Amino acid sequence: MNDTFLKACRGEKTDYTPIWIMRQAGRYLKEYKAVRAEAGDFLTLCKTPELAAKVTHQPIDMFGLDAAILFSDILVVNEAMGQDLKFYEARGPVIENPVRTRKDLDRLRVPDAEDELSYVMETIKLLRRDLKVPLIGFSGAPFTLATYAIEGGSSKNFLNTKRMMYQNPALYADLMDKLTDSVQAYLAAQIRAGAQVVQIFDSWVGVLDPSDFVEFELPYVARIVAGLKKEFGKKVPIIYFANNSASLLREVKKTKADVIGIDWRIDMADAVKQIGKRFAVQGNLDPLALFLPPDKIRERVADILRKAKPLRGHVFNLGHGVVPETPVEGVRAVVDAVHELSGK
Ligand code: CP3
């Protein structure tokens, strides 16, 4: 078992810097697209444990990554809560029954994750049988899941979400409570099934003003972290990835996650200054930098590794998910550069 990633998450000394990549299983791989075609549609792929496990393995074997991430999607939680979820090829995810009123919210329930998301637990169990690297489970953060729940899909300015926050804060708080309970129970179920680390994806939190982050998201994320710590102790590291969070980092630390995931818009040296030595950090190469020639990728990797040196622990990653058009050689180049330059 390669436990370098687990050690880095815990802030223990490692022989080299481990790397995994957000969205490492996906459409930039022809091997993924073949399995996806076999499944038919994306949600069927997520709900077929043998196929979900197969695509989870693909990038590990191809590139020598140091961790695997469960293949699934953050929106399966919204579906299990009672929202009608569809993925359209060009439009992305759509929820046909968004939450706009108290009645809408009353129809949503906190799912029994072991039962209603049993296919996820099944995938995790399959993966743990033969993975040689640690397995990351994940969930969306309450705010990011709330944006999909309320907007009914992707959004530009999150008008409906902010309107609810500002004009009907009691309804927003009750929705967030339900989402928070669902996420905590879902992550706990993943850990019991075999996930060794969990990541909370907060993809859209960067649209919040810092004081709104403190009021409308921080308490919920902190509650999930505290709940999981209470149940599982220090054994299972928690990564909180707050996308577009350069202006929020001082507050992000208050979640008390073990690992702070950062995006690429902040220089690693500044992140180190703000985050300090109590946390491990994950990041933060621009995903589009994978379109650079290999020698330029190497220079950027060297720069990030050098600036991350003072940290308690560093997990290399991109600053957000790899995009479907990414050349496979770029992915290979970043993994090799991280391993070689950090002493593997
Ligand atoms: O990282 C991994 O390899 C694990 C798989 C994973 C997927 N989605 C697979 C996926 C993970 C961790 C996610 C998380 C996710 N899903 C997030 C948070 C991370 C982020 O990128 O910010 C969000 C916001 C979603 C919601 C989502 N799922 C959107 C907006 C879309 C459509 C846009 C797109 O990229 O196509 C999806 C679909 C999705 N999730 C795909 C994959 C591989 C593409 C589906 C396909 O095969 O057609």
| Closest residue to atom 25 of ligand 1, CA basis | 74
Query: Which helix (H) or strand (E) is 284 found in, with range?
Result: strand 280-285
Å from CA of 123 to ligand 1 middle = 17
Alpha-carbon dihedral of residues 229, 106, 98, 117, nearest 10 degrees? 50
Specify which residues 138 forms β-bridges with: 199
Closest CA to 75 of 43, 100, 105: 43
Residues in Cβ contact with 195 at an 8 Å cutoff, skipping those fewer than 6 apart: 70, 124, 135, 136, 137, 187, 236
Å from CA of 73 to ligand 1 middle = 6
| pLDDT on residue 344 | 86
| pLDDT on residue 89 | 84
Closest CA to 238 of 220, 225, 254: 225
Task: List pocket residues of ligand 1, CB cut-off 6 Å.
Answer: 22-27, 36, 42, 69, 71, 73-75, 87, 92-93, 138, 154, 201, 203, 321
Q: Out of 36, 186, 240, 263, which one is annotated catalytic?
A: 36
Kindly calculate the radius of gyration of the chain based on its CA atoms and give it in whole angstroms: 19
Å from CA of 276 to ligand 1 middle = 31
Cβ atoms of 135 and 68 closer than 8 Å: yes
Cβ atoms of 280 and 316 closer than 8 Å: no
| pLDDT on residue 263 | 98
pLDDT tens, position by position, 239-264: 999 999 999 999 999 999 999 999 99
Strand bridging mode 135-140 / 197-202: parallel
| Closest residue to atom 31 of ligand 1, CA basis | 92
| Closest residue to atom 35 of ligand 1, CA basis | 92
> 103 by DSSP, 3-state: which?
helix
| Closest residue to atom 2 of ligand 1, CA basis | 23
HSE-CB for 259 with a 13 A CA cutoff:
30
> 86 by DSSP, 3-state: which?
strand
| Closest residue to atom 20 of ligand 1, CA basis | 203
Cβ atoms of 255 and 277 closer than 8 Å: no
| pLDDT on residue 200 | 99
Q: How many helices (H) and strands (E) does the chain have?
A: 17, 9
Whether 172 is catalytic is no
Cβ atoms of 184 and 136 closer than 8 Å: no
Cβ atoms of 105 and 99 closer than 8 Å: yes
Q: Is the pTM of this model over 0.85?
A: yes
Whether 27 is catalytic is yes
Q: Out of 3, 41, 73, 286, which one is annotated catalytic?
A: 73
Q: For the purposes of burial, counting CB atoms within 10 Å of the CB of 291, is it exposed (0-12), middle (13-18) or buried (19 or more)?
A: middle
Whether 73 is catalytic is yes
Cβ atoms of 246 and 274 closer than 8 Å: no
| pLDDT on residue 90 | 84
The pick from 54, 56, 73, 124 for probing ligand 1's pocket by mutation, whose C-beta has the most ligand atoms within 8 angstroms, reads 73
Å from CA of 298 to ligand 1 middle = 27
Q: Which residue has the tokens 């049988």?
A: 129
Whether 270 is catalytic is no
Taking 50 as the pLDDT cut, the residues of the chain under it are none
The pick from 20, 21, 22, 23 for probing ligand 1's pocket by mutation, whose C-beta has the most ligand atoms within 8 angstroms, reads 23
Closest CA to 336 of 51, 56, 62, 12: 62
| pLDDT on residue 277 | 87
Atom of ligand 1 nearest to the CA of 199: 12
Q: Out of 32, 148, 220, 240, which one is annotated catalytic?
A: 148
Its CATH class, for the domain covering 4-342, is: alpha beta
Residue 319 sits at φ, ψ, to 5 deg, of -80, -10
What is the per-residue DSSP string for 137-179? Answer: EEEE-HHHHHHHHHHSB--SS-HHHHHHHHH-HHHHHHHHHHH
Å from CA of 71 to ligand 1 middle = 9
Å from CA of 155 to ligand 1 middle = 15
Cβ atoms of 285 and 307 closer than 8 Å: no
The one-letter amino acid code at 127 reads L
Å from CA of 23 to ligand 1 middle = 7
CB atoms within 10 A of CB 295: 9
| pLDDT on residue 189 | 98
244: left (phi over 0), alpha (psi -120 to 50) or beta: left
